[in-house]
Amino acid sequence: MSILNASAALRMNFMSPPLLPPSPTFSKIHSNTLATTRITTRRTLVISPSFAMKKETSEPLDKVEEEMEEPRETLLYSFTPLPLFFMAALPGAGAVRSLFGPFVELIKSWNLPGWLVHWGHPGNMAVVLFAMGGYGTYLGFRIRFSDDVEEKAMAKDLHPKLLAGMFFFFALGATGGITALLTSDKPIFESPHAVTGLTGLALLTLQTTLPALFENNPGLRNVHGILGSGIMTLFLVHAALGLQLGLSF
């Protein structure tokens, strides 16, 4: 009987499966580990490019901020004729008055007609402005835009001569204007007519130096043309102010 019990026990041992560790626990731990690893891997793939993008986009912004923070200096060039009005308060006005004194007394002693003394300077300057200056300006435009070789050669020869003559007669005519004002006991430097006249002569001096620089800098031809047109416009304003001044006394 005991032998039968032992054999039955042996048979049961052979038929039963071997003991294994609890699979649900291992499977749960293993799945959690895999999930954690997968999540970690995904975070690395997603987060890492964002850091790279942030680094790439932050560098230009830093450069822009640095450029915006750099101090910049802006120079504004402007011209105002107001400082020329102070010439009347300087000793130069008195010096000019003293220098012209003997000549003014000589003119008064000639007993010339009042209209000639009063309007002689404006009449002469109008001829110089419209005849020499106007035609000289026209020739300057023909130099730039004419297709006729002979006409262009003639304009190149006559244009500088006419404008040089205009500069000479304007400078000489300024003495006539001062004399006309002094014979009428008027101030000589306070009027806008005097300011525009002195400014125009200064610009004409600059204008005459530009042609010597054309060979090394051809772009100055455009500056010469624009400046010349501006000077002629200024002298037209100067003439209108002179007419207004002449009618004021």
What residues does each domain of the chain span?
98-247
pLDDT bin (cut points 50, 70, 90) of residue 149 is very high
Q: Side chain identity at 87, as an amino acid letter?
A: M
What is the predicted pLDDT for the residue at 97? 84
What is the structure's pLDDT at 230?
A: 95
pLDDT attached to residue 95 = 81
Q: Which residues of 80-90 are buried (b: 16+ CB within 10 A; e: fewer)?
A: eeeebeebeee
Percent over 90 (pLDDT), the chain: 41
CA gap 249, 240 in Å, rounded: 15
Residue 171 predicted with pLDDT over 50? yes
Q: What is the mean pLDDT of residues 196-209?
A: 92
Of 1.20.120.1770, 1.10.760.10, 3.40.605.10, 1.10.287.130, the CATH number of 98-247 is 1.20.120.1770
Q: What is the pLDDT of residue 242?
A: 94
Query: Which of 60-74, 133-147, 231-245 has the lowest average pLDDT?
Result: 60-74
Which long-range CB contacts under 8 A does 170-177 form with residues at least 24 apart?
170/125, 170/128, 170/197, 170/200, 170/201, 170/204, 170/235, 171/201, 173/121, 173/124, 173/125, 173/128, 174/201, 175/100, 176/120, 176/121, 176/124, 177/121, 177/125, 177/242
Mean pLDDT of the region 186-195: 90
Query: Using alpha carbons only, how large is the chain's radius of gyration in Å?
Result: 49
173 alpha carbon, distance to own chain's centre: 35
**pLDDT reported for residue 135:** 95
pLDDT at 61 over 50: no
Determine the average pLDDT of the residues in 127-137.
94
DSSP letter for 211, please: G
pLDDT over 50 (residue 104): yes
CA of residue 155 relative to chain centroid, distance: 32
d(CA 230, CA 225): 9
Q: What pLDDT is stored for residue 92 in this prediction?
A: 59
Say how many C-beta atoms besides its own lie within 10 A of residue 39's C-beta: 10
CA nearest 125: which of 241, 239, 244? 239
Alpha carbons 172 and 168: distance in angstroms, whole number:
6
State the helix-helix crossing angle for 192-209 and 220-247, rounded to 10 degrees: 160
Q: What is the mean pLDDT of the chain?
A: 74
Over residues 43-47, mean pLDDT: 42
- Nearest by Cα to 81 from 241, 243, 248: 241
Residues written for the chain: 249
Look at residue 157 and tell me whether its pLDDT is greater than 90. yes
More confident residue, 92 or 3: 92
- Joined together, the tokens standing for residue 23 give 């699979």
Name all contacts of 83-92 with Cβ < 8 Å and 24+ positions apart.
Answer: 84/189, 84/194, 84/195, 84/198, 84/199, 85/189, 85/190, 85/195, 87/189, 88/187, 88/188, 88/189, 88/190
Percent of the chain's residues with pLDDT above 70: 63
**Under 8 Å between Cβ of 97 and 188:** yes
Per-residue tokens: 32: 């959690």
Please give the average per-residue pLDDT across 212-230, as a whole number: 90
